[in-house]
Amino acid sequence: MALNFELVTPEKLLRSEEVHMVVVPGTEGDFGVLERHAPVMSTIRDGAIQIFATPGATPETIRVEGGFAEVNDKGLTILAEKIVDEG
């Protein structure tokens, strides 16, 4: 079982995949989301999302600016205002 993770920006649906864990930079602190996380709605601050595809794997980071994260029984949805390109 894995966490259903979606990353959406106003321009497009960036990610929709099954991952192990995602660490979200919430306004009041980072929080990790695993599968069957309790429902949460949180605004996010500018920072990096860390995506762990499998337990213990090196996380993939995506920098986002402003947005909103929602965890419900279907999984985690991040509505990011902007994605900052790395490099």
Give the span between the Cα atoms of 44 and 64, in whole angstroms. 9
* CB nearer to other proteins: pick between 20 and 75: 75
Q: Answer yes or no: are the C-beta atoms of 73 and 66 closer than 8 Å.
A: no
Backbone angle region of 66, left / alpha / beta, with phi > 0 → left and psi within -120 to 50 → alpha: left
Q: Does 43 bind other proteins (CB under 8 A)?
A: yes
- Asked if 26 touches other proteins (CB under 8 A), the answer is yes
Q: Per-residue contact track with other proteins, 53 to 82, x per CB under 8 A?
A: ---------------x-x-xx---x-x-xx
SS3 for 13-43 is: EEEEEEECEEEEEECCEEEEECCCCCCEEEE
Measured from the CB atom, the residue of 30 and 60 that comes closer to other proteins is 30
The first and second tokens of residue 50, run together, are 């860390």
CB 66, min distance to other proteins, A: 8
Footprint of other proteins on this chain (CB under 8 A)?
6, 8-13, 26-28, 38-43, 68, 70, 72-73, 77, 79, 81-82
